[in-house]
Amino acid sequence: MNDLNPAGWRPAMGVVGADEAPATFTGNRALQLEEPLLFEIGELGRCGVDFDGEASAPMPELGAFLRAAPVDLPGLSEPEAVRHYTRLSRQNYAIDLGLFPLGSCTMKHNPRLDEKVARMPGFADIHPLQPVQTVQGALKVINELAHWLITLTGMHGVAMTPKAGAHGELCGLLCIRAALEARGDARQVVLVPESAHGTNPATAAFAGYRVETIPATPAGRVDRAALEARLGVGGPEHSDVAAVMITNPNTCGLFESELKAIADAVHAVGAFVYCDGANFNAIVGRVRPGDLGVDAMHINLHKTFSTPHGGGGPGSGPVVLSEALCPFGPLPFSELHADGHLTLVEEETAGERHPQAFGRMSAFHGQMGMFTRALAYILSHGADGLLQVSGDAVLNANYILRSLDDVLDAPFGAAGPCMHEALFSDAGFAEGFSTLDLAKGLIDEGFHPMTVYFPLVVHGAMLIEPTETESKAALDQFIGAMRSLAERGKAGDPALKSAPHFAPRRRLDETLAARKPKLTWAKG
Amino acid sequence: MRYLPLSEADRGAMLGVIGVDSVDDLFADVPLAARLSGPVEGLPDHASEMAVERHMAKLAGQNLAAGAAPFFLGAGAYRHHVPASVDHLIQRGEFLTAYTPYQPEIAQGTLQVLFEFQTQVARLFGTDVANASLYDGSTACWEAITMAGRITRRGQVLLSAGLHPHYASTAKTMARFTGDTLHHTALSLDATPDDAALIAAIDGETSCVVVQYPDVLGRIPDLAAIAEAAHAKGALLVAVVTEPVALGLIESPGALGADIVVGEGQSIGVGLQFGGPYLGLFGCREKFVRQMPGRLCGETVDAEGKRGFVLTLSTREQHIRREKATSNICTNSGLCALAFSIHMSLLGGSGLAQMASASHARARETAARLAKVPGVSVLNRAYVNEFTVILPQDARTVVRALADRQVLGGVSLGRLYPDAPELGHALLVAASECTTADDIETLGRALEEVLA
């Protein structure tokens, strides 16, 4: 064991073909560089930041509150920090490295102009509580983006503050609940199709509703008959259904062709239609959800409008609203006046202007850093570009569907084209071989796996969303890899069972992690 | 269109493989009535980088950037220096353009960062464990309240008078729909927070006491005493930290007995960004870990016994538990957590102490200068880097008049508490290591002019 390889961290061993390759002293393999934890390389008292100005003793009144010792955290010099994080970054897969076909997650190229714009000091370095006369440009960004989101969806208004898709769902449901309460109607049930994202039932429960599941038809769509039957329980005058949450296009990658009729039925019993807009990228510029009877829909700016996912966020989930729900939207929001200046409607002014607002969902104005990026994205693409975005996204997905449906089971493939994502099942795999094995094999081929085991309505689901920013050459290589893996899965190739072989780590023991959770580092 | 790689020839070849004539045929499932007949109305066609950059730069130019003026705003968002390497590193594509680490074999970079982040937050807060981040401080605060309700099975919540009003407002919005009862005492302008009144309000029905530390006026509550009183009644103490840099100087809430500590991590690494994206910090006692909201990263081993990291305890989460999840959160604030973690690793405990001391010193200098302005007095007995001054007139108009002089002088309580005229003369003033002697003098003179 050497100094750069502390206890608990072992050299790479047992890679396929390793019998010919000698073990290395460091455990590294050329550009495959292992990296210890920050706490194993940093030192208490070391610091990579220099400060100006006189340090002085704290004010005497702080006496009893002062901490006895600095926070027990090691520091790094700048070169150490740059190396630590650069090495760690190289253990990640990313869109910048290759095709990232996670269904429903929309991993498309992140334009770098948008990064540049978001970092302009006039956007990045302004405080949320600055006097409004000093942030007119920021309010214009919010207002301009709001305008285009309303235009693209054909809705009446938009709540910009929700911080991610699930937060947007909550916003939509709270608007619905507030609207129902305003007419003295205390309904308790939200209907959610079984193919829905997990956030839908979780949000409905968080908002205080009882969740009931609506089945899917064999064609992979919401069972309209079952839905209408449930709506009618107790008679149209006394429905206990507050809302129906529908994803469109849905998580099977299919357009809910009957959404308008469903919405009419929902409205007929006084309930509302919430649309999960996670897949809006499939129809942006072509279809306006407002024309389909939707009352509220969140838009994941980090999906359709390509703000970076950042390894798990931040997202941004503005919610477009129908006229019926607009009065109930959250605070704060910006308001444009005839002379072109903007003001903020917040607690101070809401009383007279927006008396039914259900309140604040978070401290400030929403994800400004995502608004600037999304606006730059929309203006860059324009009306013609957005049309091409949805067109190419759907074209790429169908190309994958038809290039694989002879080697993989596509449960809804026979019925016609898909939208922006292609869904396959694990039917036909050899005994003991699963979707997970194929996914891990894809890692060895240099791709990120597709979404696996979701939606729940398909056995061993594999949901592939290539997005419009992939070239035909990239798709062809991916298709080749998938065909090879499908054959290996059907033939029961044992090497597939133990994939990945070439990733920074082999399969990780998730059971151990959950049984004895070790969530922080301790010297051991 | 520079972002779309397919050529017309590609499209033709691909349509041939699919067996349809046109892209429109792929939208056959969309009823004709629902399809737009042409491009979106009013939106111009695609634009060059140059044109978009010009447009956005024009809008950016209509804002007064904090770095371009003497700047003293706080109230839940703070301006600290972020080392250049932080923004460089978070822009590495492998971090920036990665997804949630659901495939751990090829996401060890993100996962190790999250494990390190959780450790940093836990040590900063003095808690056993911390999660991999939430949206922001205000939503983290609400998540802590619901978590306390799950643990204590009680529904009465005490919010301290010094809790940021936007945090209280966020909690009130949510409580309206969950049936929790929030008790929020009115804020009054005293030199120290009224901990005794808060303690007296705790009873056997109290689920948790939510205390901001330092509070919205920059005062420092006696967390140890509140914790003891809460625990004696079977209630939990939720501490809320909106300025984590302060913990470089004052004791961590966990060490003082807080059961759950939440906060806003924005002031370390993230920047102001007009309010978002920010970074929700969440730490608690180990025994509550299965009631926590949000993602957790844990250590494990791979098939060869090598150390590695995975997302764990996901049976709490919405994608597994659906309507029975501890929270509906999915996307969190990953890249902001990375920025926080890099900045924190550059600082270390000693750098954080220096940053807090420098901010405290500049705040004291600012307070001393403002106290010399006729009619102005400093309210706080103690503070770290944010304090309250009482002006001889409504602070809202003063703030606007200062802004007309290109001075960003603070946050008026009138803006935060429009319904409490008795707070109208109070101004929150924050300083940091970025504050210069010139900034302080400029603020002092501008305030003298405005009040003259």
Q: Where are the extended beta strands (E) located within A11-83?
A: none
For residue A80, give how far its alpha carbon lies from the nearest alpha carbon of chain B (Å): 9
Percentages of chain B per state (helix, strand, coil), in multiples of 5 = 45, 15, 40
Domains of chain B: 69-81+348-451 (3.90.1150.10), 84-344 (3.40.640.10)
The average pLDDT across B294-313 equals 96
- Residues of A with CB below 8 A from B135's CB? 163-164, 167, 313-314, 362
Question: What tokens does B451 get?
Answer: 């009040």
Question: What tokens does B30 get?
Answer: 């969309």
- Residues of A with CB below 8 A from B255's CB? 67
Question: What tokens does A233 get?
Answer: 């329980």
- Residues of B with CB below 8 A from A389's CB? 4
Cis peptide before A500 (omega within 30 of 0): yes
CA–CA separation, A236 and A266 (whole Å): 10
CA–CA separation, A418 and A252 (whole Å): 8
Lowest mean pLDDT among A50-54, A100-104, B23-27, B228-232: A50-54
CB contact under 8 A, A92 and B110: yes
- Residues of A with CB below 8 A from B397's CB? none
Percentage with pLDDT > 90 across chain B: 93
- Taking Cα atoms as reference points, which of B370, B401, B434, B428 lies closest to residue B66? B434
CATH number of A115-374: 3.40.640.10
CB contact under 8 A, B381 and A61: yes
In a mutational test of the B interface, the residue from A112, A445, A472, A505 whose CB has the highest number of chain B CBs within 10 Å is A505
Question: What tokens does B228 get?
Answer: 């003891």
Total Cβ atoms within 10 A of residue B2:
12
Q: Specify the 3-state DSSP secondary structure of A244.
A: strand
Whether the per-residue pLDDT at A5 is higher than 80: the answer is: no
CA–CA separation, A312 and B102 (whole Å): 10
CA–CA separation, B333 and B268 (whole Å): 14
| Residue that the structure tokens 């978590």 belong to | B147
CB contact under 8 A, A73 and B349: yes
Q: How does strand A210-214 pair with strand A241-247?
A: unpaired
CA–CA separation, B161 and B197 (whole Å): 10
Nearest by CB to B331, which of A313, A391, A392? A313
Q: Which residue of B has its CA nearest to A349?
A: B418
The ipTM (two decimal places) reads 0.97
Nearest by CB to B276, which of A311, A365, A392? A365
Q: Specify the 3-state DSSP secondary structure of A303.
A: coil
Average pLDDT of chain A to the nearest whole number: 93
pLDDT category, A17, cuts 50, 70, 90?
low
Report the pLDDT value the prediction gives residue A8, as an integer from 0 to 100. Answer: 41
- Residues of A with CB below 8 A from B247's CB? 67, 71
Nearest by CB to B170, which of A86, A100, A361? A361
| Residue A408 and residue A458 in contact, taking contact as beta carbons nearer than 8 Å | no
For residue B150, give how far its alpha carbon lies from the nearest alpha carbon of chain A (Å): 13
DSSP symbols for B14-41 = HHHHHT-S-GGGGGTTS-GGGB-SSSPT
Domain layout of chain A by residue ranges:
1-49+71-77, 115-374, 425-510
CA–CA separation, A37 and A6 (whole Å): 10
- pLDDT tens figures, A374-383: 999 999 999 9
pLDDT category, A514, cuts 50, 70, 90?
very high
Q: What are phi and psi of B87, to 5 degrees?
A: -70, -30
In a mutational test of the B interface, the residue from A50, A90, A110, A127 whose CB has the highest number of chain B CBs within 10 Å is A127
CATH number of A425-510: 3.90.1150.10
pLDDT category, A1, cuts 50, 70, 90?
very low
In a mutational test of the B interface, the residue from A76, A126, A281, A361 whose CB has the highest number of chain B CBs within 10 Å is A126
Burial B79-113 (b: 16+ CB within 10 A, else e): bbebbebbbebbebbbbbbbbbbbbbbbbbbbbbb
- Taking Cα atoms as reference points, which of B395, B389, B391 lies closest to residue B418? B395
CA–CA separation, A252 and A424 (whole Å): 9
The average pLDDT across B137-154 equals 97
Question: What tokens does A45 get?
Answer: 């008292």
- Taking Cα atoms as reference points, which of A358, A351, A353, A333 lies closest to residue A343? A333
Report the pLDDT value the prediction gives residue B280, as an integer from 0 to 100. Answer: 98
- pLDDT tens figures, A155-164: 999 999 999 9
Nearest by CB to B3, which of A58, A111, A285? A111
- pLDDT tens figures, B62-94: 999 999 999 999 999 999 999 999 999 999 999
Residues in chain B: 452
Higher pLDDT, B160 or A233: B160
Whether the per-residue pLDDT at B104 is higher than 90: the answer is: yes
For residue A500, give how far its alpha carbon lies from the nearest alpha carbon of chain B (Å): 8
A339: burial class by Cβ within 10 Å (0-12, 13-18, 19+)?
exposed
Report the pLDDT value the prediction gives residue A235, as an integer from 0 to 100. Answer: 76
CA–CA separation, B357 and A185 (whole Å): 55
CA–CA separation, B273 and A365 (whole Å): 10
CA–CA separation, A491 and A449 (whole Å): 20
| Residue A417 and residue B18 in contact, taking contact as beta carbons nearer than 8 Å | yes
Q: In one letter, which amino acid is A141? A: V
Cis peptide before A314 (omega within 30 of 0): yes
CA–CA separation, B379 and B427 (whole Å): 10
CB contact under 8 A, B83 and A49: yes
pLDDT category, A7, cuts 50, 70, 90?
very low
pLDDT category, A441, cuts 50, 70, 90?
very high
The average pLDDT across A167-182 equals 95
For residue A430, give how far its alpha carbon lies from the nearest alpha carbon of chain B (Å): 23
Whether the per-residue pLDDT at A3 is higher than 50: the answer is: no
* DSSP 8-state code for residue B71: B
Q: What does pTM read for this prediction?
A: 0.96
| Residue A480 and residue B142 in contact, taking contact as beta carbons nearer than 8 Å | no
Report the pLDDT value the prediction gives residue B316, as an integer from 0 to 100. Answer: 79
- pLDDT tens figures, A311-321: 999 999 999 99
CA–CA separation, A150 and A129 (whole Å): 26
CA distances from B58 to A374, A376, B45, B405 (A): 17, 13, 20, 22
| Residue A277 and residue A255 in contact, taking contact as beta carbons nearer than 8 Å | no
CA–CA separation, A445 and A502 (whole Å): 9
> C-alpha B14: how far from its chain's center?
47
Report the pLDDT value the prediction gives residue B65, as an integer from 0 to 100. Answer: 98
In sequence order, which ranges of A78-233 are alpha helices (DSSP H)?
78-89, 112-118, 121-124, 136-153, 165-182, 199-206, 224-231
Question: What tokens does A90 get?
Answer: 């190289």
Q: What are phi and psi of B246, to 5 degrees?
A: -60, -30
| Residue A137 and residue A122 in contact, taking contact as beta carbons nearer than 8 Å | yes
CB contact under 8 A, B304 and A13: yes
For residue B205, give how far its alpha carbon lies from the nearest alpha carbon of chain A (Å): 21
- Taking Cα atoms as reference points, which of A286, A108, A304 lies closest to residue B26? A286
Average pLDDT of chain B to the nearest whole number: 96
| Residue A377 and residue A152 in contact, taking contact as beta carbons nearer than 8 Å | no
Q: In one letter, which amino acid is A89? A: S
Query: What residues pair up with A5 in beta bridges, in sequence order?
Result: none
Whether the per-residue pLDDT at A11 is higher than 70: the answer is: no
CA–CA separation, B414 and B250 (whole Å): 28
Q: Which residues contact A510 (CB under 8 A, 6 or more apart)?
A: B104, B300, B310, B312
| Residue A103 and residue A463 in contact, taking contact as beta carbons nearer than 8 Å | yes
- Taking Cα atoms as reference points, which of A86, A37, A498, A72 lies closest to residue B309? A37
CA–CA separation, B388 and B149 (whole Å): 33
| Residue that the structure tokens 């002088």 belong to | B409
CA distances from B379 to B98, B192, B376, B444 (A): 47, 9, 10, 17
Nearest by CB to A312, which of B101, B164, B411? B101
The average pLDDT across A358-366 equals 93
Question: What tokens does B290 get?
Answer: 């299965």
CA–CA separation, A345 and A335 (whole Å): 7
Query: What residues pair up with B430 in beta bridges, in sequence order?
Result: B386
CA–CA separation, A465 and B430 (whole Å): 47
Whether the per-residue pLDDT at B26 is higher than 60: the answer is: yes
| Residue that the structure tokens 């790429």 belong to | A396
- pLDDT tens figures, B215-251: 999 999 999 999 999 999 999 999 999 999 999 999 9
Q: Which residues contact B47 (CB under 8 A, 6 or more apart)?
A: A379, A380, A382, B55
CA–CA separation, B19 and A403 (whole Å): 11
| Residue that the structure tokens 């007949």 belong to | B37
Question: What tokens does A427 get?
Answer: 């039917």
- pLDDT tens figures, A447-506: 999 999 999 889 999 999 999 999 999 999 999 999 999 999 999 999 999 999 999 999
CA–CA separation, A482 and A52 (whole Å): 57
Q: For chain B, state the CA radius of gyration.
A: 25
- Residues of B with CB below 8 A from A453's CB? none
